[in-house]
Structure 1
């Protein structure tokens, strides 16, 4: 009997699309996160992928987080290693030098928001759902990086307030809280995903130098956790890599010649 596909992988226009698919709420189990981890690694190694986009199947949920029935049946030993693997997977996503966009097609709560916060940018369908980390209502904390990523996005005091209250709020409020970068108006779920793909393509060649985009991401993601002088060292080394690239030569030449650059990703 073949394994159920819980994470779909496809490449369209240089964008690797990872779709979480376990209806009705795309909640994740250890099995889904194993597939998600494999998909992250596949997108990382795929030379045809310049940007990664994560979304949920259907129109109602990006993801409602961890499968509560699974957690209810599991012992503390399993739960610990389940969280450890989830942390490792999301760290891999952050460490991959390709821009990651979470396309929030529906409710994005609990561990679903923790996945989205591990992305570099978050775009959401207008009026399509709510955000939040309600784990406190289960007597636990957001244990897939939520306590650490949220404070780095919205600040220490505000993140404690949001997690301690455990309330949900709509995508538009998420924009005000800096949890959402862009709100997209769409007539349907398919229309939203098509528009999210068009947004993602803005960061691929020939529109952008994808290596530069990836190194900007790596400089921020690595540097934010380092002392300032060490972070500047990371920045210089990544810049030196770009100085040796064909796209840097093209970008500088295009500026001097007053024309639009045609980036190749090399």
Structure 2
């Protein structure tokens, strides 16, 4: 089972907005921009570097994204930066953010958002691009309140929320700009589970334990990654094309060591011991 103590010493990436650590099969990205971990072009560049680094690291099976401190996961875009920037920059800022968050979905490794504090605006948009969202119970609120600024959720919020919720509910939440607690977020399906924790350290340790169920040796992280690819790549395709993607991913798994181990363990009436090795 992975533990935070398995992690390497934190490395602050080039633009100073994300800390990167890895170990025990986990890569941890920590959003770092006091006081509210607001994101900027610099943070998105660091996230871009972090996801590519984790993608190429064969030892990394699961990625966890968290925010520095106990009050905020991420409070959204740096409003003072947006107020100063000219329209051309704002357009390319949104484009780059879209491209970066698509990497989260395209990378065939599970990405878990650890929400240990408020998660609003662009912060929720980052979380929605992750595969799973785990929140520290009672630690904050979430929502997409951009309408109060005279704009819309422009880092994927209108598209991802409308794919996760009924369209009318997604429109209502965004058009009202409502902020709501993690209990309601879980009831809506925006948060997958909540964890009771007395501190951020306790919460992160619990998230690592949660992540362990998706990792070798008890579960095949290659299978988990291919399930993710099938869903993220196929759910919005016509059924026939989605089934074709599913077959191709299944064929890759059948040709790898994890499927051989899983089938042999089942026939031998023993627990499997997966070691990975299937090409992504």
TM-score (norm 2): 0.93
Mapped partners of 2:276, 2:177: distance in 1:
43
* 2:71 paired residue number: 60
Q: CA RMSD in A?
A: 1.0
Give the counterpart of 1:251 among 255, 259, 262. Answer: 262
Equivalenced residues, count = 265
1:207 CA drift (Å): 1.8
Conserved 8 A contact 1:15-1:201: no
Matches within 5 A, 1:133-172: 133-172=144-183
* Residue-by-residue CA offset, 1:127-162 (whole Å, 9 max, x unaligned): 001010000110100000000000111121110010
Conserved 8 A contact 2:220-2:258: yes
1:11 aligns with 2:22: yes
1:189 CA drift (Å): 0.8
Conserved 8 A contact 2:14-2:46: no
Alpha-carbon spacing, 1:21–1:150, altered in 2? closer, same or farther (3 Å): same
Mapped partners of 1:12, 1:66: distance in 2:
30
1:208 aligns with 2:219: yes
1:31 aligns with 2:42: yes
Matches within 5 A, 1:116-135: 116-135=127-146
Mapped partners of 1:138, 1:166: distance in 2:
10
Conserved 8 A contact 1:13-1:201: no
Mapped partners of 2:227, 2:221: distance in 1:
10
1:91 aligns with 2:89: no
Mapped partners of 2:103, 2:14: distance in 1:
24
Mapped partners of 2:239, 2:210: distance in 1:
32
Conserved 8 A contact 2:110-2:228: yes
Mapped partners of 1:113, 1:133: distance in 2:
7
1:237 aligns with 2:248: yes
TM-score (norm 1): 0.98
Mapped partners of 2:270, 2:14: distance in 1:
51
Secondary structure (helix, strand or coil) at the match of 1:59 reads coil
Mapped partners of 1:258, 1:155: distance in 2:
43
1:70 aligns with 2:45: no
* Residue-by-residue CA offset, 1:164-213 (whole Å, 9 max, x unaligned): 01010001110000000010010101110111111112111002101100
* 2:61 paired residue number: 50
Conserved 8 A contact 2:15-2:43: no
Mapped partners of 1:116, 1:4: distance in 2:
21
Structure 1 segments unaligned to the other structure (5+ residues): none
